[in-house]
Amino acid sequence: MPRFILMVMLAAGLLLGGCAPEDAQTEGAGEKQKAEKAEPKNERPKEEEPSKQGADPEPQEKKAEPKEPKANKRDKEPAPKPEPEPPSSSASASASAVGDHDATVTVRRVVDGDTVTVSPAVDGNEEVRLIGMDTPETKDPSEEVEPLGPEASAFAADALTGQSVGLEFDVEREDQYDRLLAYVYLGEEMFNEVLVEEGYAQASSYEPNTRYEGRFAAAQEEARAAGLGIWGLTFAQQCLLADQGNGIGEGTPGCSAASASASASASASADSSASASPSVGSGAVPPISEDNCPPNAPIKGNQSSGIYHVPGGDYYDVTDPEECFASPQDAEAAGYRASKV
């Protein structure tokens, strides 16, 4: 082969050998570019990705601030404050006072205007003396029936018999006769005070049981000014009452000079009271004792209340008879009415 051609071929080989590395480099670069294109676009760390809203995210290593705990419903809604009590008035104070009884009982019988028997017994005692006042006497065997005494007894019997009442005690609970001493409440009214207001009793307080002494004195002045009850009696009649320091009664100035006319007035008052009370009817017989009627006339009639009680009735055993009858018809003919219980 000619030398010239050989040299040309060698030169061409050299040229081809120099391009190969370059092509290899080019090919390697292309592969690298392909690899780079194949990698996902989101090469940045997750924490560097912008949020969907476009805000720059916090670095991952930064700890999230603790959230405030949800408020408890009790924290959001404070407990309701108690409603303030309305200011007390004299009426509400009075109602509160009469509501605080030491005992609640039923009046079984009215002995006289200021004495009753009750059930159940309180501390074993059934007899109650209303305190702070005094009604004219009707039951004392050593005393004559005093003016307005039967009327006071009838008024008390009509209001209290069979009623549930409250008892309020003062310092002393019993008197020298072993009777309970109490203020008697019928509903919201103190019946002791009612008797004074209506003129059926004098105010009469004794130490140490003087809790309502002022109330009784005020009630008495109103009754005296209105001429009610004993305050409407003649002076001679007033002189027959007990002296309770109220300007009337036995021993007060002027009463000794009027004793003669007082006796006449007392007789007239007794006759008037007798005509107002049930009369002795056909078949009426006297009791055989303070508590009992004879077997042939077992029905008990009580003149103070105008009520008769038959055996087996609720109040029969505690009723002291003043007249006895063989039948209800005889008792009703005498002017009595049947007991409701």
- Asked if 209 contacts 172 with a C-beta cutoff of 8 angstroms, the reply is yes
Which tokens belong to 212? Answer: 């309502």
d(CA 138, CA 146): 6
β-pair partners for 180: 128, 174
- pLDDT tens, position by position, for the chain (341 residues)? 566 666 767 666 655 555 444 444 444 445 555 445 545 455 454 544 444 444 454 545 555 555 555 545 444 555 555 554 443 333 333 333 345 799 999 999 999 999 999 999 999 999 999 999 999 999 887 788 999 999 999 999 999 999 999 999 999 999 999 999 999 999 999 999 999 999 999 999 999 999 999 999 999 999 999 999 999 999 999 999 999 999 999 988 888 765 545 455 445 554 554 444 444 445 788 888 888 888 888 999 988 788 888 888 888 888 888 899 998 888 888 888 888 76
Catalytic residue among 151, 179, 193, 323: 179
Respond yes or no: is residue 129 known to be catalytic: yes
Respond yes or no: is residue 108 known to be catalytic: no
Q: What is the pTM of this model?
A: 0.51
Respond yes or no: is residue 179 known to be catalytic: yes
**241-280 CB burial, b ≥16 within 10 A, e <16:** bbebebebbeebeebeebeeebeebbeebbeebeeebbeb
- The predicted pLDDT at position 90 comes to 34
Angle between the 149-160 and 259-276 helix axes, to the nearest 10 degrees?
40
H helix count then E strand count, the chain: 9, 12
d(CA 254, CA 239): 9
Over its C-alpha atoms, the chain yields an Rg (Å, rounded) of 55
Instruction: Please report the sign of the dihedral spanned by the C-alpha atoms of residue 191, residue 192, residue 193, residue 198.
Output: positive
β-pair partners for 307: 302, 337
Which tokens belong to 51? Answer: 């949020």
- The predicted pLDDT at position 277 comes to 44
* Domains defined for the chain, CATH in brackets: 96-232 (2.40.50.90), 279-341 (no CATH)
Catalytic residue among 108, 109, 127, 137: 137
- Asked if 253 contacts 306 with a C-beta cutoff of 8 angstroms, the reply is no
Q: Residues 6 or more apart from 103 whose CB is under 8 A from it?
A: 122, 166, 167
Task: Tell me how many degrees the CA angle 47-51-53 measures, rounded to the nearest 5.
Answer: 165
- Asked if 144 contacts 159 with a C-beta cutoff of 8 angstroms, the reply is no
- The predicted pLDDT at position 255 comes to 85
